[in-house]
């Protein structure tokens, strides 16, 4: 656990060139094959909207119920501190995700939170859930239209089905969509971490770090396709290792620290 992370690939993994190469190949083959390239962006919308409305918001409402029960019994937050901290952290993230500001951020403090404030949070969560649910439904309708256009392009449903059979890899989809993970989200460091469909998730980090199989990465504000980001990273790291070998930095470092240790031993 000290080496792993649920939020992004751990550093020890990022040091492995094979990790960057495998991710680039897996994401590229899933995202840009001749069949899925028609649906990837709309599937991303369906996945992200559906995750918020069907899993994320219900989990936050469950945490709010725990806080509400605690404060109704004890008149203040006592046993539900962790749930309240998680709730406040996720409301901050939800504001960014939904572009809908929370009307009363001043109540998101354990010392001032009152029973009447529960309804304010509940209404906020309910509003976002309805909004994202509607967006998910609209995206599903748009996907149906895209499929109909494909049928017209290729001539029949059977032709589109054959296209999928030829280019869509179900085993690969199981991997990049994390279908073997039972939980859709988990709690980690007073945050809710998404486990569902990592290939569709937009990473929060702006320094190039992301979960394995994320299809995009952000670097200094720029949104970069994972395939090209990983290729550039592999080239850059290979260049750095070339310099290490050419100038014999490894041997010089070992000799340097060996001499320091020897001097301390002589003293």
Per residue in 165-182, pLDDT (tens digit) is 999 999 999 999 999 999
Beta bridge pairs of residue 178: none
Q: How far apart are CA 22 and CA 230, in angstroms?
A: 9
More confident residue, 4 or 101: 101
The strand pair at 222-225 and 192-194 is best described as unpaired
Lowest mean pLDDT among 53-57, 64-68, 215-219, 254-258: 254-258
As a whole number, mean pLDDT of residues 191-217 equals 94
Asked if residues 138 and 50 have their Cβ atoms less than 8 Å apart, the reply is: no
pLDDT for the residue 111: 85
Residue 262 pLDDT grade (very low, low, confident, very high; cuts 50, 70, 90): low
How far apart are alpha carbons 43 and 187 in whole angstroms?
25
Chain position carrying tokens 């001032």: 112
Query: What's residue 221's pLDDT?
Result: 86
- In 8-53, where does DSSP find H-type helix? 11-14, 17-31, 40-51
- Does residue 266 have a pLDDT over 70? no
pLDDT single digits (tens) 227-239: 999 999 999 999 9
pLDDT of 51 strictly over 80: yes
Q: Which residues pair with 216 in a beta bridge?
A: 225
Would you say 181 and 195 are in contact if contact means Cβ atoms under 8 Å apart? yes
Tell me the mean pLDDT in the region 189-214.
94
The rounded mean pLDDT for the chain is 93
Q: How confident is the model at residue 257 (pLDDT cuts 50, 70, 90)?
A: confident
The pLDDT assigned to 267 comes to 58
Q: What is the pLDDT of residue 108?
A: 92
């Amino acid at each position: 656990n000290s080496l792993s992370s649920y939020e992004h690939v751990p550093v020890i993994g990022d040091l492995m060139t094979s990790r960057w190469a495998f991710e680039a190949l897996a994401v590229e083959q899933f995202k840009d094959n001749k069949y899925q390239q028609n649906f990837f962006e709309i599937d991303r919308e369906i996945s992200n909207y559906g995750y918020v409305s069907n899993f994320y918001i219900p989990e936050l409402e469950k945490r709010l119920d725990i806080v509400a029960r605690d404060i109704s019994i004890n008149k203040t937050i006592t046993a539900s501190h962790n749930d309240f901290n998680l709730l406040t952290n996720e409301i901050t993230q939800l504001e960014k995700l939904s572009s809908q500001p929370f009307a009363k951020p001043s109540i998101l403090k354990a010392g001032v939170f009152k029973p009447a404030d529960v309804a304010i949070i509940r209404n906020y969560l309910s509003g976002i859930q309805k909004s994202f649910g509607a967006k998910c439904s609209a995206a599903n309708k748009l996907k149906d239209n895209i499929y109909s256009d494909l049928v017209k392009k290729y001539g029949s449903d059977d032709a589109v089905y054959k296209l999928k059979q030829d280019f869509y890899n179900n085993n690969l989809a199981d991997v990049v969509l994390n279908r073997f993970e039972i939980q859709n989200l988990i709690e980690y460091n007073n945050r809710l971490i998404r486990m569902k469909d990592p290939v569709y998730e937009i990473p929060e980090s702006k320094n190039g770090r992301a979960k394995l199989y994320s299809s995009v990465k952000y670097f200094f504000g720029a949104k970069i396709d994972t395939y090209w980001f990983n290729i550039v990273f592999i080239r850059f790291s290979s260049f750095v290792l070339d310099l290490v070998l050419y100038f014999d930095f490894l041997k010089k470092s070992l000799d340097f620290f060996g001499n320091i240790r020897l001097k301390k031993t002589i003293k």
